[in-house]
Amino acid sequence: MKTQVLIVGGGPVGSTLALDLAARGIEVIVAERNPPGQIPGVKCNHVAARTMEIFRRLGIAQAIRDTGLPADHPNDVAFRTSVAGIEFARIMIPCRRDRYTDKDGPDGWWPTPEPPHRINQIYLDPLLAGFARDHPLISYLNNMEIAGFSQSEDGVVAEIAGTHQLVHAEYLIGCDGPSSRVRSLIGARLTGDAVIGRTQSTYIRAPGLAARMQAAPAWSTQVMNPRRSANMFAVDGRETWVIHNYLRPEETEFSDVDADGCIRAILGCDHPYEVITSEDWIGRRMLAGRFRDRRAFICGDAAHLWVPFAGYGMNAGIADAMNLSWMLAGVLNGWADPRILDAHEAERWPITEQVSKFAMSTSLSLARARAEVPADIEDNAATRVAVGELMLKLHTPQFCCGGLNFGSYYDRSPIVAHDGEEPPPYTMDRFTSSTVPGCRTPHVWLEDGRSLYDAMGPDFCLLRFDRATDVSGLTEAAALRGLPMHVLDLAPVDVYRQKLVLSRPDQHIAWRGNAEPGNPLTLIDKIRGAA
């Protein structure tokens, strides 16, 4: 078999990568070791706004938003003494029916055409795999595992496990999860914090449980009582949930924990339930020392592991993949120099290292709070008020993490024309939109009602805020090098202080100025990796 790119692993990261490469005209084989129809893990329940922006560009955002919880099911985060017990705080987040119009929630102010979406992995994974399977440039192959591969200057040759078949590809990308075979084969090692916390995740079916609850439905129900602390996510919005039971510091062996007794303490009522699947797992903060060996790359959980709060793992993995995708497509389509691929690790490694520390810090703060649940929380209203205020302070930044979505920037990139201005700092939930090169291209709604991102398209876009500004040198230089770029004329916008801003295919800023650079061809060569 021959292809341009072989992707090992067909989960959300691998499938999204395949779809983006194919949208750029690249032939792809996805090797997924699991059989079709196998229920994926249920840990991830959240698609970040930045990921939804990617799905919008790929033309699949609405199909994804129409899947998962019922349209009117609240996306709130509730805090209770037990699932059926007393509620003492709530983060209000609109249901998906109102997601585009309701701006009252703590993330309603975000400058994006696509707010976040709450959907469990059991719906998202097969949906993305189905889109990939249906694309004419993608061969999505189940029951296919890669035993090993070799590299040369011309490409990669991978061996299919259990057969004598070979796959010849120009590049290979490992999106094969925490125990990545590709990571091992390229000699990358994970380092960091091997144990942050232990969790028992149980996917249950419990018809009638919703009727036993004292408060309104919620997407996430955070339980805190002296016996157990847990997080329960609504999966279908009717009768299925996934319960994450957080083990106490002294509970170092999963086998020593009475899983059924814990679930009943979390539910707070003697209600029958059926276990669909269960998984014991350890929260970690681990980062691969490198993301590449010549023509082989790793993305997602293969490159970094951290506590999966708010879907950081999957969403950061998709961000990895989208960063690599346009560069790799540029090389294969002939307009980018192969040296552009060095920018992938230079850009993504600092981001993943930083985000992993955000996740770890949040995890440790919450672990301390769970370990110190007041003994009278079920009996004392004043105690519940105090704990509720603390939980809102700790959890709102996690579940409405605007900083992680929109604040990150590439300040060490060799393919960004940095101009000396420092990008604005950001926290987990707060950020400042900026046109400093390396930052995310600020989103605005255009005068005709369109999203700026829709108007920009999938390639380089030169935003011009003064039609009198000559850009012929840049357009001619881009045409000479074959770099796909178009000019978009816009009315002045406050956040855009310069007359010209060049946005990359991944919606990060490559360059800005009030006039063309002295040598436009030098700039074009820099951003295509040939400087």
DSSP 102-159: ---STTTT---SS--EE--HHHHHHHHHHHHHH-TTEEEESS--EEEEEE-SS-EEEE
pLDDT at 369: 79
> Looking at per-residue confidence, does 279 or 443 come out higher?
443
Least confident residue range of 190-199, 231-240, 251-260, 517-526: 190-199
Task: Kindly tell me if the per-residue pLDDT of 401 is higher than 80.
Answer: yes
Task: Kindly tell me if the per-residue pLDDT of 310 is higher than 60.
Answer: no
- CA–CA separation, 170 vs 330, rounded Å? 13
Computed over every residue of the chain, the mean pLDDT equals 94
Closest of 396, 79, 91, 366 to residue 225, by C-alpha: 79
Task: Kindly tell me if the per-residue pLDDT of 361 is higher than 80.
Answer: no
- Helix (H, G, I), strand (E, B), or coil: what is residue 261? helix
Phi, psi (rounded to 5 degrees) for 414:
-80, -5
Position of tokens 């060490």? 412
Question: In Å, how far are 114, 337, 437, 489 from 511, measured between CA atoms?
Answer: 25, 18, 5, 16
Task: Kindly tell me if the per-residue pLDDT of 368 is higher than 90.
Answer: no
Task: Kindly tell me if the per-residue pLDDT of 490 is higher than 60.
Answer: yes
Strand 28-31 vs strand 138-141: parallel, antiparallel, or unpaired?
parallel
- Evaluate whether 49 touches 110 at the Cβ level (below 8 Å): yes
Give residue-wise pLDDT tens across range 407-429.
999 999 999 999 999 999 988 88
- Evaluate whether 201 touches 278 at the Cβ level (below 8 Å): yes
pLDDT at 68: 92
pTM of this prediction? 0.95
pLDDT at 295: 98
Structure tokens at 281: 């797992």
- Evaluate whether 508 touches 439 at the Cβ level (below 8 Å): yes
Of all residues in the chain, the percent with pLDDT exceeding 90 is: 83
Beta-carbon contacts of residue 57 (< 8 Å; ≥ 6 apart): 453, 458
pLDDT at 285: 80
Residue type at 357 in one-letter notation: K
Task: Kindly tell me if the per-residue pLDDT of 383 is higher than 70.
Answer: yes
pLDDT at 42: 75
Domains of the chain: 2-67+116-189+285-343 (3.50.50.60), 409-527 (3.40.30.120)
Task: Kindly tell me if the per-residue pLDDT of 41 is higher than 80.
Answer: no
pLDDT at 65: 97
Given CA atoms 374, 307, 97, 232 in this order, what sign does their dihedral have?
Answer: negative
pLDDT at 236: 96
- Helix (H, G, I), strand (E, B), or coil: what is residue 284? strand
Per the DSSP assignment, residues forming a β-bridge with 204 are: 241, 275
- CA–CA separation, 319 vs 17, rounded Å? 10
pLDDT at 210: 95
- Evaluate whether 273 touches 205 at the Cβ level (below 8 Å): yes
Residue 451 per-residue DSSP state: B
Least confident residue range of 200-209, 297-306, 363-372: 363-372
Given CA atoms 74, 75, 78, 84 in this order, what sign does their dihedral have?
Answer: positive
pLDDT at 312: 74
Closest of 392, 405, 393 to residue 431, by C-alpha: 405
Least confident residue range of 40-49, 122-131, 158-167: 40-49
- CA–CA separation, 76 vs 259, rounded Å? 26
Task: Kindly tell me if the per-residue pLDDT of 307 is higher than 80.
Answer: no
